[in-house]
């Protein structure tokens, strides 16, 4: 099991092997974490995503899936893009959210990444309740076999940090 750390900060400034991007299925950038990673990482990330779209992911990355690209100008080596589910209170989609974390760790293992930084996937514009998202994230990472040595949850604000820290 990896060491888990929780920091309040900017995921685009993390010196880790891989940062996880809360992407949309198009892989072509968006708002929130996705937009920040594309802006700071530069055009190399978008170019790599376009190549993925031209190949196996022509119809987009499925919810719960993960795929890696270069990190461009970020201080990380790779970006692992994962598509979180949109929150629907009437439908249990927690397995899809858990899959984002498991699949990202699987990709990190394939890359040989020792350190991975995660955002709070799906808790922004996708509307997932922060406390539940934190519980699913921490529980899933703890329960997923991986060779990753450190998983760093990088939380953008105090509310997210507090929710994640409560589950450590």
Q: CATH number for the domain including 148?
A: 3.40.220.10
Name the average pLDDT for the chain: 95
Picking from 123, 105, 125, the residue whose alpha carbon sits closest to that of residue 115 is 105
Q: What is the pLDDT of residue 54?
A: 83
Picking from 68, 60, 98, 65, the residue whose alpha carbon sits closest to that of residue 82 is 65
pLDDT tens figures, 36-48: 999 999 999 999 9
Residue 34 appears among annotated catalytic residues: yes
Mean pLDDT of 15-20: 98
Q: What is the pLDDT of residue 13?
A: 97
Q: What is the pLDDT of residue 143?
A: 97
Integer Rg of the chain from CA:
14
Q: What is the pLDDT of residue 58?
A: 76
145: pLDDT confidence band, cut at 50, 70 and 90? very high
Picking from 34, 5, 6, 2, the residue whose alpha carbon sits closest to that of residue 108 is 2
Q: What is the pLDDT of residue 29?
A: 86
Domain that holds residue 12: 3-165
121: pLDDT confidence band, cut at 50, 70 and 90? very high
Phi, psi of 115 (to 5 degrees): -130, 135
> Whole-prediction pTM value?
0.96
Phi, psi of 136 (to 5 degrees): -65, -45
- What is the number of structural domains in the chain? 1
Catalytic residue among 34, 92, 157, 158: 34
- Strand order, beta sheet including 66-70: 3-8, 150-155, 115-118, 18-23, 78-83, 66-70
Distance CA 80, CA 130 (A): 21
Q: What does the DSSP 8-state code read for residue 86?
A: P
pLDDT tens figures, 54-102: 887 777 899 999 999 999 999 999 999 999 999 988 899 999 999 999 9
């Amino acid at each position: 099991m990896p060491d888990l750390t929780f920091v309040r900060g900017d995921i685009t400034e993390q010196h880790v092997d891989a940062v996880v991007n809360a992407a949309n299925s198009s892989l072509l950038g968006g708002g929130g974490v996705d937009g920040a990673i594309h802006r700071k990482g530069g055009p190399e990330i978008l170019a790599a995503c376009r190549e993925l779209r031209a190949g196996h992911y022509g119809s987009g990355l499925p919810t719960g899936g993960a795929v890696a690209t270069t990190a461009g100008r970020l201080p990380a080596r790779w970006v692992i893009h994962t598509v979180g589910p949109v929150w629907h209170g009437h439908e249990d989609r927690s397995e899809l959210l858990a899959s984002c974390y498991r699949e990202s760790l699987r990709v990190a293992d394939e890359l040989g990444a020792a350190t991975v930084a995660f955002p709070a996937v799906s808790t922004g514009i996708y509307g997932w309740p922060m406390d539940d998202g934190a519980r699913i994230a921490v529980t899933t990472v703890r329960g997923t076999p991986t060779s990753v040595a450190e998983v760093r949850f990088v939380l953008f604000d105090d509310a997210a940090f507090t929710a994640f820290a409560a589950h450590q």
